Amino acid sequence: MEAPAAEPSAGPPSTGEVSSPSPAHWSSSGRAAAAQAPDPVACPMCASVHPAVQDPPSCVYVIGHIEPRFPLLSIEKEVRQAVARASATKETDREVMARLLREPANKYLVRRLCWVLSVQGVETYILFPRDGDYQPLVDAYRADPHPGDLELVIGARGPIASAEVCNGLLVPIVIFDQIYAFDRVALLQSIPKPKEGGEKFLKACAEVFDRITLQIDNSGATDAHRACNYLSVRYERIYSLAAEQFNNNASLTAVEVLPSPLSGTRKIVDVVFSFTDRTTDVVSRFFTRVDVTECFPFLVTKMSPYYHR
């Protein structure tokens, strides 16, 4: 269930507090790991605020949806002129825009657009590439979109953008290192299924994925959310475990992220999944360890039973 290493258009396989009878509870430990500061060349229009009041750059591992915006009226007019110069077609507006952005002659327009990542429909970050390559953003703009289309963005969060960057939108800038574009259905279908009960398994996977990604404040900037977002797209065992517990008449009642006793020079967290028997109220806990020291989290310990000390 590993994500493709190079193509941003192929997503990694794989999955808060949501309103439900058994909501997931989250706790976060410490601040996000320090990350490389945004490149002033890649981010020429960051807000001009006094350094003393700027937040230090932090790592971001966030799942959302990317859309381009017009930062200035002149850019919008230039795009319309580029469309007018192209041959007439019977395509939809989005198909025309997708084709326009992919033409090499229009790279200057791609660089001048404002690329916004929204989480649960809320504009959350403005994206700039660390290496100046805007192709991952173009690939994330689909000519035929679907409601389940998502993007995983990995990078470093910088200061709040100035009003000139995106037509007055004041949200943090993220200098991204990688973008994976995928859709929810394909992600869930890529998870290895048991020989029997495939339909129920998919429903269990969908619920776990939604419980993580639909967290109210899951902007992918805290250690807790980064660890959970990583597990949701990289570790299929959380899905098979949930399916087993649902089959045993247990509910997923909590997902907690706690500092690991193994943390030393590395920042390691324990992600604990709690399941409560619907008949006896007996709670069973399982956990896995994730290293969130840098911007690319990785698995330290596979899923195993968790015991309170």
User: Which helix (DSSP H) or strand (DSSP E) does residue 93 occupy?
Assistant: helix 93-102
Mean pLDDT of the chain: 82
Answer whether residue 277 is part of any domain: yes
User: Which helix (DSSP H) or strand (DSSP E) does residue 211 occupy?
Assistant: helix 198-213
The answer to whether 188 and 207 have CB atoms below 8 angstroms apart is no
Answer whether residue 212 is part of any domain: yes
pTM: 0.78
pLDDT-based confidence at residue 309 (cuts at 50, 70, 90): low
pLDDT-based confidence at residue 147 (cuts at 50, 70, 90): confident
Q: Which residue has the higher pLDDT, 108 or 26?
A: 108
Q: Which two tokens stand for residue 64?
A: 């959302």
Query: Mean pLDDT over residues 160-171, rounded?
Result: 93
Evaluate if residue 45 carries a pLDDT over 80: no
Q: Which residue has the higher pLDDT, 283 or 27?
A: 283
Q: What is the pLDDT at residue 5?
A: 42
The C-alpha angle 45, 59, 119, rounded to 5 degrees, equals 75
Report strand pairing: 250-259 vs 172-183.
unpaired
Q: Which two tokens stand for residue 292?
A: 């969130």
The answer to whether 68 and 153 have CB atoms below 8 angstroms apart is no
> Domain residues for 144?
51-71+113-305
pLDDT-based confidence at residue 212 (cuts at 50, 70, 90): confident
Answer whether residue 95 is part of any domain: no
The number of folded domains in the chain is 1
| Greatest pairwise CA separation for the chain in angstroms | 69
Query: Mean pLDDT over residues 93-121, rounded?
Result: 93
Q: Give buried/exposed letters for 152-172 (b at 16+ CB in 10 A, else e).
A: bbbbbbbbbbeeebbeeeebb
Answer whether residue 276 is part of any domain: yes
Query: Mean pLDDT over residues 225-236, rounded?
Result: 94
Residue type, 212: I
Evaluate if residue 222 carries a pLDDT over 80: yes
The C-alpha angle 149, 204, 201, rounded to 5 degrees, equals 100
Query: Mean pLDDT over residues 64-85, rounded?
Result: 92
